[in-house]
Structure 1
Amino acid sequence: MTIIDSRITDLQVYPLAFSDPPLLNAAGVHEPLALRTLVRLQAGDVVAWGEGRGDALPADVVPALCEAVLGLDVFATSRIEAAVDTVLRRLRPDLGAQARLVTFAPIEVAALDAQGKLLERPVSELLGGALRDRVDYSAYLFFKWAGHLDGEPDEWGEAMDPDGIVAQAKLLVDRYGFRSFKLKAGALHPDIEVESLRALAEAFPGMPLRIDPNGAWTHQTALEVAHRTDGLLEYLEDPVLGIDGMSRIHAETGVPLATNMCVVETAHLRPAVRADAVQVLLSDHHYWGGLRRTKELAAICEAMDIGVSMHSNSHLGISLAAMTHVAAAIPNLSHACDTHFPWNRADDVVTEGGIEIVDGAVTVPTGPGLGVEVNLDRVAELHERYVESGHRTRDDGGYMRRWDPTFTDARPRY
């Protein structure tokens, strides 16, 4: 019998800065650099990776976190989580439970990647097995400038009206074969956003559509948009803020509502169900504490008759691989998942060809662990960019105010 050395012998954290286009949203506009955090975990001879939010592992706690997990078994993820939680409670008592899960999430992904490599099994099998060979993703459409402030126009072009959005959609379909669309709204007047949806419906007959204003609309505006888009949408995402506000919109329109804003921790589930405020929950392993918790969340949603899909933010290929593994193992995944990957793939840390969107879907990796290889030179490059840039927090509103000093991200706006 072969004995596997599965103890953690090293944990390193790499904050990264990578290119992001000027994508508009209710909070402002994406800055030239987006932030993510990579975790590199070693167990025995295996090197494994996880990816999290840019603020996932605060620099002041990283040394203590690394020390706390050394010697723990990568298969003992509950013990690893407890060790991480203990350190954060001691050093960062200001962090709530959800923020502590954000810190644990990329460590858990790295532990699962290590488990898979040690056992020579894909992560999806560690989550119960893939139920589908491919996971569908939706094209994520944004109103956007032609290029960044003080910069040259980018390859994507300007999209500030319905014609621009349709052209953007055609480009994404040509490159990736997407078969559904999500439009990020709350950035321009609702009239422009509704007309953009109508233009998409005309240009792509029968393609599923969804729209997300991130709570930028008033109750009355949300009602008007629901009326004007009747029959166009598979669901309406976060038209207003809060469980009570969402409940009222659904009660008055009957339109299915999705969220990644008013239900972001387990304590929100019961009141949301009681109020019939959410019909589709957009899970996100970066927020909910990893892949296993995401699958548990999906099971809760199944019991409560809530649909399941996935939220996305600016991310790289390690996250796309992790999302694909857990999505493949969720029985009740009811809608194509969101992904920013096309917008950020030029700076990806996964080796070329390691993770691809083809015909609007990602084939579930079958190699050990996450099934992707990491380009160490690219990691070093993006980490150096992070160090040299001095960029430490995302500030969409501040960047927008460089263009429009009167801009405010207070919501509702329209």
Structure 2
Amino acid sequence: MFTAVRKLVGDDIPLSFDANNGHSVSTAIRQGRQFEAMNIYHFEEPVAQYDYTGIKQVADALDVRVSAGEHEYTRWQSRDLIAQANPDILQPDVVKCGGITEMRKIAVLSDTFPKDFVPHQTLPTIGTAASLHVVASIQTANKPQEFTGVRPELNTIFKEPLEFKDGHITMPTGPGLGLEIDTDRIKTFAL
């Protein structure tokens, strides 16, 4: 499948693969070597999230970049992930790690122990806006964030929805996260 997608989009579009903690170390290394040949940008969570030794084995064995961190809920867990697993990319999730303040503290670690910073995303719209605000202020955020796709049914609950155009998301500029809920629209979802 990846070979077909790579052929379709060309080499200029970064492709990534999320194993979702699904491989053994040996399988992840085998799969990762295939990804290297396909110019895959990064390999997310190739082995169990808390198997720091396994993550390190995979990261050390491959040239394709390994990412981890969506299941680390504090800067201390992220520090331990870096020290023990040494992934190439940190992927904290603003919803899981306790919000913008903790995510920014994790981002400082990515700068201190040079790691790329690519936030994970489990909550479209509000989570996307929160992550955008963090990455806009972080030097190591060279790829803004994992994007799970446009969710029009969720985006319509805001007076000024997030704008997705040509592969980019426009940073909201209003107060707070820049999103104001349309209370009349919310009422249409009530049961």
TM normalised by structure 2 equals 0.86
Cα separation, partners in 2 of 1:329 and 1:271, compared to 1, 3 Å: closer
On the 8 A contact 1:244/1:277 being kept in 2, the answer is no
Structure 1 residue 208 displacement after superposition: 0.7
On the 8 A contact 2:78/2:106 being kept in 1, the answer is no
Please tell me whether residue 328 in structure 1 is matched to residue 133 in structure 2.
no
Matches within 5 A, 1:372-383: 372-382=179-189
Structure 1 residue 369 displacement after superposition: 2.8
On the 8 A contact 1:282/1:311 being kept in 2, the answer is yes
Alignment correspondent of 2:153: 346
Please tell me whether residue 299 in structure 1 is matched to residue 108 in structure 2.
yes
| Aligned equivalents of 2:85, 2:129: Cα separation in 1 | 32
On the 8 A contact 1:320/1:341 being kept in 2, the answer is no
The partner residue of 2:89 within 273, 280, 286 is: 280
Structure 1 residue 326 displacement after superposition: 1.9
Please tell me whether residue 311 in structure 1 is matched to residue 117 in structure 2.
no
Alignment correspondent of 1:234: 41
TM normalised by structure 1 equals 0.42
What secondary structure, in the 3-state scheme, does the structure 1 residue paired with 2:72 have?
A: coil
| Aligned equivalents of 1:258, 1:275: Cα separation in 2 | 14
Deviations 1:278-310 (A, max 9, x none): 111112221122212212211121001111011
**How many residues are paired up?**
186
What secondary structure, in the 3-state scheme, does the structure 2 residue paired with 1:334 have?
A: coil
Alignment correspondent of 1:200: 5
What secondary structure, in the 3-state scheme, does the structure 2 residue paired with 1:357 have?
A: strand
Cα separation, partners in 2 of 1:296 and 1:314, compared to 1, 3 Å: closer
Amino acid at match of 1:377: D
What secondary structure, in the 3-state scheme, does the structure 2 residue paired with 1:379 have?
A: helix
| Aligned equivalents of 1:370, 1:234: Cα separation in 2 | 29
Cα separation, partners in 2 of 1:210 and 1:216, compared to 1, 3 Å: same
The partner residue of 2:62 within 253, 256, 265 is: 253
Matches within 5 A, 1:179-198: 196-198=1-3
On the 8 A contact 2:66/2:87 being kept in 1, the answer is yes
Structure 1 residue 336 displacement after superposition: 3.5
Structure 1 residue 276 displacement after superposition: 4.3
Alignment correspondent of 1:370: 177
Structure 1 residue 197 displacement after superposition: 1.3
| Aligned equivalents of 1:203, 1:324: Cα separation in 2 | 29
Structure 1 residue 216 displacement after superposition: 0.9
| Aligned equivalents of 1:365, 1:260: Cα separation in 2 | 26
Percent of matched pairs sharing the same residue: 22
| Aligned equivalents of 1:307, 1:235: Cα separation in 2 | 11
| Aligned equivalents of 1:202, 1:336: Cα separation in 2 | 24
CA RMSD of superposed structures (Å): 2.1
Structure 1 residue 328 displacement after superposition: 1.2
Amino acid at match of 1:283: P
| Aligned equivalents of 2:154, 2:68: Cα separation in 1 | 29
Structure 1 residue 259 displacement after superposition: 1.2
* Structure possessing the higher relative contact order (Cα contacts under 8 Å, 6 or more residues apart): 1
| Aligned equivalents of 1:358, 1:267: Cα separation in 2 | 37
Gaps of 5+ in 2: none
Deviations 1:319-372 (A, max 9, x none): 332222222122220223112341x32233213x53111121122222333223
On the 8 A contact 2:73/2:97 being kept in 1, the answer is yes
On the 8 A contact 1:259/1:280 being kept in 2, the answer is yes
Structure 1 residue 272 displacement after superposition: 2.5
| Aligned equivalents of 2:108, 2:166: Cα separation in 1 | 28
Please tell me whether residue 266 in structure 1 is matched to residue 75 in structure 2.
yes
Whichever structure has more strand as a proportion of its residues is: 1
On the 8 A contact 2:67/2:89 being kept in 1, the answer is yes
Cα separation, partners in 2 of 1:262 and 1:295, compared to 1, 3 Å: closer
